Chains A and B, each alone.
Chain A
Amino acid sequence: MTVAINCEEIGKKLQEVFPGSVVSTGKADILVDANMLQQVAGFLKSTAGLDFDYLTFLTAVDYLEYMEIVYRLVSLNHNQSLILKTRCYSRENPVVPSVVSLWRAAYYQEREIFDLFGIKFDGHPDMRRLLLWEGFVGHPLRRDYL
């Protein structure tokens, strides 16, 4: 059974290692500050006992004050899962660090988020539109598009 990991413990651990990174922990997810996303993700991937080496989905949701990016990480060896979230408060020029260097699974998903939401990922080798044609104006999946 893939167990959702205990988020409070992980949250506390992360606060010790990276103070100021964890904003809040929900029942099944951890909300992390966008600036420290890469360090937190790297820690989660490489620490023994956590070993989150498999990224399933990576998506974004547009709550009008902010846009929230959701990652679901799975550890194949320990059969555990974790949902990691981060928020992006700017709408004109949203930038979030990219995790492509850690998990290649993010390659197409980050391009898709840029295409449909407009969020740029800092560090992605090929940041362009994926599903819509080049020259399309706008980002359709934002709540204020239509």
Chain B
Amino acid sequence: MAIRTEPFYLNIGPQHPSTHGVFRLRVTLDGEVVVGLEPIIGYLHRGIEKLAETRTYTQNIPFTDRLDYLSSMTNNLAYCMAVEKVGAIKVPERAEYLRIIFSEIMRISSHMMAVGFFLNDLGAMMTPVLYMWREREKIMDMFEMVCGQRLLYNYMRIGGVSQDLPEAFMPAVKKFLAEMPRYIDEYDQLLAQNEILLARSKGVGILPRDTAIAIGASGPVLRASGVKWDIRKMDPYSLYDRFDFEVPIGDSGDCYDRYWVRMLEIRQSVRILEQAVAQIPEKGPIRADVPQFFRPPRGEAYGYIEAPKGNIGFYIVSDGSIAPYRVHIYPPTLINITALQDMVIGWKVADLIIIFGSIDVVLGEIDR
């Protein structure tokens, strides 16, 4: 007698410990194997693009914090760069260095959080998260020194940054950079060759190279599939062409490669930071002279950067008034999950959670 099975629907609902936010997946399961998948989003839609049309350019900067709320500095930077392109503003050198320093520190923090929660989804019970947060606490203390905030910084302004560094900042950064390689080595020692991590993530959730390019993936997801595309090298913005760093790529595009690319990128960020901290001019203006109600000339521009999760970009259309005519936010994580079906079908429920965790999404950016 042949055993007949029937597929059933499971709703990995908006409230779930592992969906990294309010994200709903409607999964069709045949036993434990996933045979169909449908993501449903929109639970965190706040209408930022519409709100931005009725506020001035500077008033929109706090909105950008709340997109990818785990790496606010880079969102601010992308928006300010887009506005500077529209208005043809030149940013002073010290401000550029400050922007780069904060972006790279933000990248370290975001990647550590991504890796920590990837391992939490694997079942390692918060231990890697808490180890990585030891460093993240130091980063948040540094940010608090500068702008007073621990999560949503609102630090960049059009034409530069908002405040200069206090006295205690540079010694804190130097101490952090001196200790960081040792901590990354410790994480590698504990995690990189862990049998269970290898067994569960090597070969799981492969995103082939052609699919990655076809869906427009960006960030570590694209680089883990073998495409050497990093905006900081391919289309350098700010002062990235002055620094010497490498772009790590993976070879097969599975979950382990995405995790490994992120760990390597943390090392490269430390390298960039050491050079930036050495090269930053001692004194200088930290913001270009931009009026409070800034009226850029008519036109449009697309400002984009290499954020920790992908290439976030802002397409701004200006009509000459104090508020933008249209702001469009390009969310890298929404594009990265376009291939979720390809990556997950055929694997089991446990793998679905890991694959989703390895893409590293933040719902604030997907839903805007």
**Which residues in A have some Cβ–Cβ distance to B below 8 Å?**
1-2, 53-57, 59, 61-62, 70, 72, 76, 79, 83, 103-105, 107-109, 116, 129-133, 140-141, 145-146
- Are A62 and B326 touching (Cβ within 8 A)? yes
Q: Which residue of A lies closest to B45 (CB)?
A: A131
- Are A105 and B42 touching (Cβ within 8 A)? no
Cβ distance A84 to chain B, nearest Cβ, rounded Å: 13
Q: Which A residues lie within 8 Å of B345 (CB)?
A: none
Name the one of B45, B50, B213, B338 contacting A108, with C-beta atoms under 8 angstroms: B338
Complex Cα distance, B298 from A61, in Å, reads 14
Name the one of A2, A104, A108, A131 contacting B235, with C-beta atoms under 8 angstroms: A2
Known: A57-B330, A61-B325. A79 touches B234 (CB 8 A): yes
How many A-B pairs have beta carbons closer than 8 Å: the answer is: 73
Given contacts A56-B311, A76-B229, 20 further A-B contacts (CB under 8 A): A1-B234, A1-B236, A53-B214, A54-B216, A56-B216, A57-B313, A57-B328, A57-B330, A61-B325, A61-B328, A62-B326, A76-B227, A104-B211, A105-B216, A107-B338, A109-B335, A130-B42, A132-B42, A141-B49, A146-B50
Name the one of B42, B50, B335 contacting A141, with C-beta atoms under 8 angstroms: B50
Decide yes or no whether B215 CB sits under 8 A from chain A: yes
- Are B334 and A108 touching (Cβ within 8 A)? yes
- Are B41 and A131 touching (Cβ within 8 A)? yes
Decide yes or no whether B302 CB sits under 8 A from chain A: yes
Q: Which A residues lie within 8 Å of B227 (CB)?
A: 76
Cβ distance B323 to chain A, nearest Cβ, rounded Å: 13
Cβ distance B25 to chain A, nearest Cβ, rounded Å: 15
Q: Which of A109, A132, A146 has the most CB of B within 10 A?
A: A109
Complex Cα distance, B217 from A56, in Å, reads 9
Known: A70-B315, A76-B227, A131-B42. A55 touches B49 (CB 8 A): no
> Would you list which residues of chain B between 84 and 127 have a CB under 8 Å from chain A?
none
Decide yes or no whether B68 CB sits under 8 A from chain A: no
Decide yes or no whether B367 CB sits under 8 A from chain A: yes
Decide yes or no whether B317 CB sits under 8 A from chain A: yes
Q: Which 6 A-B pairs have the closest CB atoms?
A: A105-B216, A2-B235, A131-B42, A59-B328, A57-B330, A131-B45
Cβ distance B212 to chain A, nearest Cβ, rounded Å: 10
Complex Cα distance, B54 from A145, in Å, reads 13
Name the prevailing secondary structure of the B interface residues: mixed
Decide yes or no whether B47 CB sits under 8 A from chain A: yes
Complex Cα distance, B49 from A62, in Å, reads 13
Q: Which B residues lie within 8 Å of A1 (CB)?
A: 234-236
**Which residues in B have some Cβ–Cβ distance to A below 8 Å?**
41-42, 45, 47, 49-50, 211, 213-216, 227, 229, 234-236, 302, 304, 311, 313, 315, 317, 325-326, 328, 330, 334-335, 338-339, 367-368
Complex Cα distance, B54 from A13, in Å, reads 41
Q: Which B residues lie within 8 Å of A116 (CB)?
A: 49
Q: Which residue of B lies closest to A1 (CB)?
A: B235
Q: Which B residues lie within 8 Å of A146 (CB)?
A: 50
Name the one of B213, B235, B302, B326 contacting A54, with C-beta atoms under 8 angstroms: B213
Known: A105-B338, A131-B367, A133-B42. A140 touches B50 (CB 8 A): yes
- Are B235 and A55 touching (Cβ within 8 A)? no
Q: Which A residues lie within 8 Å of B339 (CB)?
A: 104
Complex Cα distance, B236 from A61, in Å, reads 28
Cβ distance B80 to chain A, nearest Cβ, rounded Å: 18
Q: Which B residues lie within 8 Å of A105 (CB)?
A: 214-216, 335, 338
Q: Which of B216, B311, B335 has the most CB of A within 10 A?
A: B216
Complex Cα distance, B325 from A55, in Å, reads 24
- Are A55 and B216 touching (Cβ within 8 A)? yes
Q: Which B residues lie within 8 Å of A83 (CB)?
A: 302
Complex Cα distance, B72 from A28, in Å, reads 30
Cβ distance A66 to chain B, nearest Cβ, rounded Å: 14
Name the one of A2, A59, A79 contacting B315, with C-beta atoms under 8 angstroms: A59
Name the one of B47, B213, B215, B328 contacting A140, with C-beta atoms under 8 angstroms: B47
Q: Which A residues lie within 8 Å of B42 (CB)?
A: 129-133
Q: Which B residues lie within 8 Å of A57 (CB)?
A: 302, 313, 315, 328, 330
Cβ distance A62 to chain B, nearest Cβ, rounded Å: 7
Cβ distance B216 to chain A, nearest Cβ, rounded Å: 3
Q: Which B residues lie within 8 Å of A104 (CB)?
A: 211, 214-216, 338-339
Q: Which of A55, A62, A130 has the most CB of B within 10 A?
A: A130
Known: A131-B41, A131-B42. A103 touches B326 (CB 8 A): no
